[in-house]
Structure 1
Amino acid sequence: MRHFSHASASHADWRQAVELLLARLGNDRGKSVPKDSRRLAFVYATDPMAGRLEQVLEELGRRRHDIDWVGAIAHGVYGVDAEFREQPALAAMVCELPNDSFSVFGGRNRLEMVAPTGGVHAAIVHADPATPDLNELLGDLLRHVPSGDVVGGVVGGDTEPALQLAGDVISGGVSGVALGPQARTLSRLTQGCSPLAGEHIVSSCSAQYIQTLDGRPALDVLLDDLDVPAEARSSRDGEEILRALPSERLARGLMIGLAPGGSTPRGIGFGDFRVRNVIGIDPTNRLLAVAATPEPGERAVFCTRDQKAARADLTRICTELREEVESESLRILGAHYVSCVARGAHLFGAPGAELDLIAHNLGKLPLVGFLANAEIAGDRIYGYTGILTLFVEAGENGR
């Protein structure tokens, strides 16, 4: 069985944070790596560490030159049973993987130049929020990952630039680790949404405005879905309409999920839907403004987020992953988790609640992750999303 270990540390002095992190990772430096293996480590640092990231990487590399380091600065990091946000903190997971099963890319080392033996089966990526045409860049990257299994997040905290680790400290573009078929992963995405009614089709739209759904004025469709009283539905008074909305039901906001027309109907969870905020109404022209650029023919569903829906959907993806692991007699080696900065304690009610749910459903695992500005799955950029990736290998049973 290949060995994974994880650790986290928080200290105002970056040197002490590194010292604590390495001590908690364990003294496997002296242990020879099996001839068929190499060590990869994901390491994430909170924003207060940004000014010392180069020194952190230099010290990690000096002390653990047997490891390839990859990671980034983030608003928050997931460590051992803990979620760190505002305090200076480091979190890492060391992965023992087959030789030639991974390669770190970023900066001058483009993915297609350093692809592992057997090609790229999956990739875990970190993206700079200031990167122009990020969607196009992800689409280009996806051409080198035939499975489409690209996951990760938009990194960085309040300090600019958004620093990444990919052998060196870099900024700009996309970096990460490309995984070959020998380093198998399983991933699932949770959006933690609760639908307010059934699906619709975007009939007409312009820029960020949805004019009609199912051939009807978009605002009228929304008010029907929310069971707003009839007298308010026909009103042209924006204040009257807003007062009539079910405030308790929409306590965490009103969103709309958008998906390509003709795609698989939404089942459990939100699958391919991009969930975005509804940001305004036009009571005169009966249209909606959304934080997206919808296309005619797209499928749409109004939804909201709350703690109950978020917990249920995170439990769902854990259950799906566990069932896949057990059905194939796999063993879980470790986990990587990316969650939106607007989730975490803000949505789940307590710091580390997502980690507790994952541990409850999958058992105690080496795990590392970060709180992202936006989440990446395939060539799409999501918001308010969690992406859980498991590293697995063949085994007699799932755990």
Structure 2
Amino acid sequence: MARFGDALATGADLVSAAERAVLEATRSLDAPADLVCFFVCGADPDEVTLAGRRVMELAGDAVTLGCSATGVVGAGRGMEEQGGVSVWAAQLPDVTLAPFRLDVIPEGDHLAVVGMHEPDSHDRAALLLVNPYEFPAQSFVERSTDALSGLPIVGGLADGMRGQDSVRLFCGGEVVDAGAVGLMLGGAGVVGTMVSQGCRPVGRAMVVTKAEGNVILELAGDSAYERLENLVNSLPPEEQELAANGLHIGIAMDEYADSHEHGDFLVRSVVGADPEEGSLTIGDMVEVGQTVRFQVRDYDSATADLVDRLQVFDEETGGRSSAALLFSCNSRGTAMFSTSDHDVRAVQQNLGVQSVGGFFAAGEIGPVAGRNHVHSLTACLLAFEN
């Protein structure tokens, strides 16, 4: 039977924190761990490296995977922008683990990603940790659904307290400062993945009738800008304020659905509006004929969506979850909620699990409507069972 443990140790001495976290996370296991995932937050990249190496040394023969971050999750709490190490350890007798490392190489006039395993019939998911400064995460993940025969990918974009030069990835005893690292996971012990985008729709769904790339020119036959302006003017004051502070747009994932409701959209930011051209620029490509719906996000909508997604996931998977890895956006935590613990506590309460490890990511990876995407402001999860 699978067993799980997790811990979060804080302090300026990251190596000491790493030692304490490994000891605590593995204490509840009755045999050596098969998988140890860990996440390190610290101001000094060299100390982060030493802490990561120490976790991998103490993990023995376990498969190890981890990264640097600006905040970590473990022991039922989140911690942001201070020194700490989160360790999640698991005995997984019914799960196969195949580590991989991805690199980018020139190939003709473009770049190619090498190192990805071909999935087999037993693989249930892939776990991916990325250096976003050195790896084309968006294009790789967007293409991965077709390239990997629909295999779901979940994970996050690593970061560091000093930005680009402080990112570290850890895999199998090695420290990597570029590319991506990950695991193929197979077998019945992998329950599945969940993504909470945290938005709620406003206004009605509309069909894109003219577009170029990521620029929407017309919605339902009229100027996209005018459609948005009319919508915002019709909203109550509190929702107008939310739209002014950060408007989003949902792209329907299934054009053949009878209706498009909450949870049916891939949410992207509205990044620009041009009243002269009547256009809206969004954070993804859009095609004529697709259905879209504007979205807003706040504390209440993010909380409600996370709880709803978790409850639906729990029902659909028969309540089998016993532990999870959690990847929350670094703009959630105290930037959105009253506490850094918000997302991890919601996972524990709604899935009835205790061992949850993870980090606050610079972008999250997870599937929506069967296709893998890189997200922002989301919470993505990979669940396991005993």
When normalised by structure 1's length, the TM-score is 0.83
Whether 2:60 is the aligned partner of 1:65: answer yes
Counterpart Cα distance in 2 of 1:321 and 1:169: 34
C-alpha RMSD of the superposition? 2.8
Structure 1 segments unaligned to the other structure (5+ residues): 230-243, 394-399
How far apart, CA to CA, are the structure 1 residues paired with 2:338 and 2:244?
A: 14
Tell me which residue corresponds to 1:380: 373
Q: Distance in 2 between matches of 1:207 and 1:245?
A: 32
Distance 1:357 1:182, change over 3 A: closer
Give the equivalent residue in structure 1 for 2:243.
250
The answer to which of 177-186 and 365-374 deviates more is 177-186
Partner of residue 194, structure 2 = 188
Are residues 1:52 and 2:56 paired? no
Paired residue for 2:339, among 339, 345, 350? 350
Tell me the CA shift for residue 59 of structure 1.
2.0
Classify 1:139/1:196 alpha carbon distance in 2 versus 1 (closer, same or farther; 3 Å).
closer
**Deviation sequence 1:249-271 (CA, Å, 0-9, x none):** 43642111224572546655334
1:304 corresponds in structure 2 to 296
- How much does 1:23 deviate? 3.0
Structure 2, unaligned stretches of length 5 or more? 104-113
- Tell me which of 71, 84, 92 is aligned to 1:89: 84
C-alpha distance 91-210 of structure 1, shift in aligned 2 (>3 A): same
Identity value in percent: 24
> Is 1:20 matched with 2:4?
no
Q: Is 1:286–2:289 an aligned residue pair?
A: no
Cα deviation, 1:129-157, whole Å, max 9, x if unaligned, reads: 12454344335654564342111111113
Deviations 1:282-308 (A, max 9, x none): 233322233333332222111100111
Summarize the alignment of residues 30-41 of structure 1 with structure 2, pairs less than 5 Å apart: 31-33=30-32, 39-41=34-36
**1:235 alignment partner in structure 2:** none
Is the deviation greater in 7-16 or in 244-253?
244-253
Partner Cα distance (2:146, 2:117) in 1:
10
1:112 paired to 2:117 = yes
1:149 matched to 2:152? The reply is: yes
- Please report how far the alpha carbon of residue 121 of structure 1 lies from its aligned counterpart in structure 2 after TM superposition: 2.1
For the 8 Å contact 2:206–2:292, the answer to whether it is kept is yes
The separation in 1 between residues aligned to 2:82 and 2:259, in whole angstroms, is 40
CA distance in 1, matches of 2:116, 2:281: 38
Query: Would you say the 8 A contact 2:321–2:353 is kept in 1?
Result: no
What is the aligned counterpart of 1:209 among 198, 208, 215?
215
Structure 2: how far apart are the matches of 1:143 and 1:280?
Answer: 30
What does residue 236 of structure 1 align with?
none
Q: Is the 8 A contact 2:242 2:298 kept in 1?
A: no
Distance 2:126 2:156 in 1: 12
The CA deviation at 1:43 is 0.3
State whether residues 322 and 353 of structure 2, in contact with CA within 8 Å, keep that contact through their aligned partners in structure 1: no
Cα distance in structure 1, aligned partners of 2:191 and 2:299: 28
Q: Which amino acid aligns with 1:69?
A: T
Shift of 1:26: 4.1
Is the partner of 2:251 in helix, strand or coil?
A: strand
Tell me, yes or no, if the aligned pair for 2:247 and 2:295 is still in contact at 8 Å. Answer: yes
Provide the C-alpha distance between the structure 2 equivalents of 1:294 and 1:367, rounded to a whole number of angstroms: 36
Pair 144,283 (structure 1): closer, same or farther in 2 beyond 3 Å: closer
What does the per-residue CA deviation read over 1:178-223, in whole Å, with 9 as the maximum and x for residues that have no partner?
1012432221111111111111111112344321111111112112
Give 1:152-167 correspondences, 5 Å limit: 152-157=155-160, 158-161=162-165, 162-167=167-172
Distance 2:202 2:175 in 1: 44
Letter in 2 for 1:346: A
Distance (Å, rounded) in 1 between the aligned partners of 2:352 and 2:6:
15
- Quick one: which amino acid aligns to residue 368 of structure 1? G
Q: Which residue of 2 aligns with 1:123?
A: 126
Q: TM-score, normalised by structure 2?
A: 0.85
Structure 1 or 2, whichever has the larger Rg, is: 1
Q: 1:391 to 1:260 in 2, by over 3 A?
A: closer
Which amino acid in 1 is paired with 2:299?
Q
2:348 to 355, 359, 374: 359
How far apart, CA to CA, are the structure 1 residues paired with 2:230 and 2:95? 56
Q: Contact (CA 8 Å) 1:111, 1:178: kept in 2 or not?
A: no
For 2:169, the aligned partner's letter is Q
Q: Which amino acid aligns with 1:146?
A: S
Aligned residues: 368
- Supply the AA of the counterpart residue of 1:179: L
